[in-house]
A and B are shown apart, each in its own frame.
Chain A
């Protein structure tokens, strides 16, 4: 079954404590990306990756890092989380951007206090 798996699904953390949200896909997709969803703002892209070792900033990259060492994994790293990063995060993957259906993970609810 085609899947994009994110962990953790729910997390409450404190300001400044580094955390990583993992994302893994089993479809051998080249393209992966991270979005955050906030009320009234829809989904905004944080970072994307077109292939292994190729990453680039989206619309709201400040405060986040990513890496793409393997094709299947695309972790999102918050080095020093702040309360304004409290949000719902989605990982997504597709065979090629724009020409293929994008599959989304189930989302990770992150609260920074």
Chain B
């Protein structure tokens, strides 16, 4: 069965600090990968996605993620966070041929001004 692990449950950063959130998945076949963000009281929004091609993908709001197939990882990065990035971040994986998106347990990011 597929599973997704997000290593950090809570992250606290100061503004302008760099961010990296870890995501590892377990599935040996072809996958599509996603990062979603959920701002307080709001629904999920897509930050970025990887289907194929360049393993370094850029998303909205200055976020990027790198797919490293050998490590089964899809870590999210941002060089300089802002207070408005305070939110919960979810990594999700869809294994090709399976009819569902499997989510990690989420990482709560708090950015202090």
Question: Which A residues fall within an 8 A CB radius of B?
Answer: 31, 33, 35, 40-45, 48, 50, 56, 58-59, 90, 92, 97-99, 101-102, 104-107
Closest to A103 in B: B46
Contact (Cβ within 8 A) A90 B94: no
B27: Cβ under 8 A from any A Cβ = no
Q: Which of A35, A44, A50, A98 contacts B96 (CB 8 A)?
A: A98
C-alpha spacing A102/B94, complex, angstroms: 11
Contact (Cβ within 8 A) A42 B42: no
Chain A residues with Cβ under 8 A from B73's Cβ?
none
Q: A50-B99, A98-B94, A98-B96 are in contact. Are A41 and B46 (CB under 8 A)?
A: no
Tally A-B pairs: CB < 8 A: 56
Contact (Cβ within 8 A) A48 B100: yes
B16: Cβ under 8 A from any A Cβ = no
Q: A43-B90, A98-B94, A101-B49 are in contact. Are A107 and B103 (CB under 8 A)?
A: no
**8 residue pairs, one from A and one from B, having the closest CB atoms:** A42-B105, A43-B103, A42-B103, A106-B43, A98-B94, A104-B44, A45-B100, A104-B43
Chain B residues with Cβ under 8 A from A31's Cβ?
99
Contact (Cβ within 8 A) A42 B90: yes
Add 17 more A-B contacts to A90-B44, A98-B94 (CB < 8 A).
Answer: A33-B100, A35-B103, A42-B4, A42-B90, A42-B106, A43-B90, A44-B103, A48-B100, A50-B99, A92-B101, A97-B99, A97-B101, A98-B99, A99-B32, A99-B51, A102-B34, A106-B43
Question: 17 A-B Cβ contacts within 8 A?
Answer: A31-B99, A33-B100, A35-B103, A42-B4, A42-B103, A43-B92, A43-B103, A48-B99, A50-B99, A90-B43, A90-B44, A97-B100, A98-B32, A98-B94, A98-B95, A98-B98, A104-B44
